[in-house]
Structure 1
Amino acid sequence: MDAPDYNNRIFRPVGNPPGAPTGHYHQNGNLIWADFGGGKLHFGRLVGTCDTSGTITATYCQLAVDGTVTAGQVTSIPDYDESGTLTLTEHWHRLDGSTGISVIEQVDDSLSPPAPETLTP
């Protein structure tokens, strides 16, 4: 499998559930960054690198609509499902010690995440 180019790809959780957060990924060489939001997330940012296989190693920080902030590290491994859709299996570790695995998939550009708005205190 050739390493994917992540520039301008949009990702959401597999199955595209309603109200799920959405990420807009960018790439320049081996540098990766993404903005994400929607659902229970007001805004988030991911910054990292990808290796020659396309595996992303990054750090992220996100602000929930309730005002809580979560940060951590993630390793995202690319693959393609049976229909040829690019997926990323995310192995995440938050600063609070929690860990997990999430799977996101590339979706249509029309599902790009919303721009963040000002939060009211």
Structure 2
Amino acid sequence: MLDFDGRRFRAEGSTAVAVYRQEGDLVWAEVSGGEVLRGSVTGLRDDTGTLHMGYTIVLAGGELVCGRTVNTPEVAADGRVRMREVWQRYHPRPESGTSYLDEVV
């Protein structure tokens, strides 16, 4: 099963980088850079390797964003990981969507 510890990811179109840590099935990340002053994501990896996480992010403009996400990893031919992220934002503007996180090597 995929180990996330020490892996770095960036969302498409963003300069913010998330650095992941893992102990067993507990997975968390610290996010910063570009439009993100500081953010954290914490959750669990299930039996299929999918991550179920909650997040809080403070943006450079002072906006606080919180929500949840389900990230499904895929390993590319070159060994890098790409995660399909299905997210729900609760605050300040509730919405949902799908985005992709690409591993930064």
**Scaled by the length of structure 2, what TM-score is found?**
0.91
Distance across 1 between alignment mates of 2:15 and 2:54: 20
Unaligned runs of 5+ in 1: 109-121
Greater gyration radius: 1
Distance across 2 between alignment mates of 1:88 and 1:100: 14
Displacement, 1:58? 0.5
**Scaled by the length of structure 1, what TM-score is found?**
0.80
Displacement, 1:33? 0.6
Larger RCO: Structure 1 or Structure 2 (Cα < 8 Å, ≥ 6 residues apart)?
Answer: 1
Structure with greater strand share of residues: 2
Aligned to 2:77: 82
Q: What's the Cα RMSD here? A: 1.3
Runs of 4+ in 1 over 3 A off after TM superposition: none
- Identity over aligned residues, as a percent? 27
In the alignment of these two chains, the number of paired residues is 103
Q: Aligned runs of 1:1-121 on 2, under 5 Å?
A: 3-14=1-12, 20-95=15-90, 96-108=93-105
Displacement, 1:102? 1.1
Distance across 1 between alignment mates of 2:8 and 2:42: 15
